[in-house]
Amino acid sequence: MRGPETFIQSLNLGGRRSPAETLLVYALHIVVAVVFILPLLWAIAASFSPNEEVFKYAYPFSWRALLPSNFTLAAYENLFARDFGVALSNTFVLGMVVVIAGGVVNSMAGFAFARFNFRGKRLLFVGIILITFLIPIDLTAIPRFILISELKWINTWPALIVPGLANSLVIFLFRQFFEEIPQDLIDAARVDGASWLSVFYRIVLPLSRPVLITAALLMFLTQWDSFFWPLLVAPHPALRVVQVEIAISIGEYQTLWNELLAGSMLAAIVPILLLLPFQRYYIQAITSSGLKD
Amino acid sequence: MSIHSKAVPYLFLLPAVLLLLIFNLYPTVATLNQSLHAQSFISNKLIYVGLENFERILNDPIFWKSVQVTLVFSILVNPIQIVLALLLALLANQRVRGIALFRSIYLLPVAVSINVTTVVWGLMLDSDSGLINGILATLSLPKQPFLTAPSHALWSIILLATWKGVPLWALFFLAGLQGIPESVIEAAKIDGANRRQIFRLITLPLLRGVLLFVLVADTVANFLLIAPVYSLTQGGPQLSTNLIMFETYRRGFVYNDLSTSAAMLWVMLIFVLLVVLFQAFVLRRRG
């Protein structure tokens, strides 16, 4: 096990690095970065290439595989001609609706747990929030699916929106943040005769920008990436979301490689553009699910 | 006034609790109920059959094959991802110039969905003219039937799941590493500890909580993996990638046998709860 240990030593946990070590760190960074970026570069290049040239420089491999060989927008034009735009706008609208409605529902619950003492608080928190947080929703999809079909919601918008609105992780995040708001601010407003609802909307929420961004990002990305549930309850083309559209295209258009890749890149660009500027908020959201409390 | 204000927290909780009860908690209990019944074809009513569905899956070689595939997959993919994620976090924790750019690159697979990963890697692993075979050809190595041979297909799923998963778990380790106070490491150095000792005696023990969390969360996440199997292999070739999540989907929604599928999901649920309880148990013993 000499290998990993020398590697770990070269990472120099504290202290000054020799020039040779710095060089090694850069070399490792570059190798790892290539592993993560190469598939995406190839996919972007191929999505701007004519279909028959997608594999031209991939096999045998040449660096030209990472640049469009004969730049064309044909793949993207064909995608939009066959309703990929519908899937994109469906997913976008769904994301916005879930962020707004889910934001209201989850922030209110977080507020109740953070700022009130009431009978059954512990029971509700452990018995409902914690339990639902631990049970993966995909494992309980069948009765939920039956419930949705009994409600006659199959292939309707509510099937895609309502079951995911309440989110235990987002409730956790709100609770954690609201606990830190100084009691004085709330007391002052209460003494002035403000109702709890107006305390919540006029005092608490305006102070909560960071957690609101974090929660919105988390809910939007969860919605954007959701696949299994929409596949079950809304397979109809008019309601398809972007991940289902991509998965189905693999079977339906299996030889239109440039279009498959173009669709994938369109599905990827939205979360990338959201995550890169807001990565601090996102990392805080996902790590606090495991590292705090 | 006092009665009114007593109701306030419950009113704030009402929408979320109601939604969680209806769409999360009820389906959990109902999964068990469904697994104890059979769907009548004529009336679409449920008929109580006791443990028959469980008996049927326990006597089904396809179920056991998918258990075996899932077990092999878990034993391989989880340690691979966790070790690589820890190494990536150590690398990303280095203060060198340009680190922000590298960290942004490492975030890309986190942003890209598993379906997108599946499309891109599915084409790159094409047995005929994929990019990976192209690189092998450039190195004068033989072509590999990545997704078309039973000996290769599961490894290909592991590969793409690892590319997608490692950066996510590395974020947790990185957060853990950055939570270790500089002063602790400085103190150890003053006491004459070398880097290897610092890593083994300080860094690793302080990362134990994170490690435990990542172990559990990664195991559960990989246990639920379905997208690449759904899109690329449909469980094949020769059931070599028939992970249990895909098998339950196929039973329930391709063969319309919701009750057997529910029985399998309940077995999976018990497994997940055992893994989570294991985490709680270890944490309690430590704390």
pLDDT digits (tens, 9 = 90+) for A8-63: 555 555 556 788 888 999 999 999 999 999 999 999 999 999 988 888 888 888 88
Domains of chain B, CATH where assigned: 61-253+269-286 (1.10.3720.10)
How far is B287 from B283, CA to CA, in rounded Å?
A: 6
Positions of chain B with pLDDT under 50: 1-3
Phi-psi region of B192 (alpha: psi -120 to 50; beta: other; left: phi over 0): left
Model confidence at A7, in pLDDT bands (50, 70, 90)?
Answer: low
Q: What is the pLDDT of residue B43?
A: 63
Which superfamily, per CATH, for A78-291? MetI-like (1.10.3720.10)
CA distance B151 to chain A (A): 22
For residue A137, the chain B residue with the least C-alpha distance is B24
Show residues of chain A in contact with B258, CB under 8 Å. Answer: 142, 146
What confidence score (pLDDT) does residue B193 get?
83
CB contacts, 8 Å: B224 with chain A: 136, 138-139
Three-state secondary structure call for residue A192: coil
pLDDT tens, position by position, B27-81: 988 888 888 988 766 666 788 888 888 998 999 999 999 999 999 999 999 999 9
**A28 touching chain B per CB within 8 A:** yes
Domain ranges of chain A: 2-72, 78-291
Question: Could B115 and A271 be called an inter-chain contact, meaning their C-beta atoms sit closer than 8 Å?
Answer: no
Question: In A127-241, which residue ranges form alpha helices assigned H by DSSP?
Answer: 131-134, 141-150, 157-161, 168-178, 183-191, 196-198, 209-225, 228-233
Cβ-defined contacts of B192-197 (< 8 Å, 24+): B195/A8, B195/A9, B195/A12, B195/A13, B195/A14, B195/A15, B196/A5, B196/A8, B196/A9
A41 to chain B, any CB pair closer than 8 A? The answer is no
Q: How far is B70 from chain A (nearest CA, A)?
A: 15
Among the listed residues A99, A161, A94, A156, the one whose alpha carbon sits nearest the alpha carbon of residue B19: A161
Q: What one-character DSSP code corresponds to residue B142?
A: P
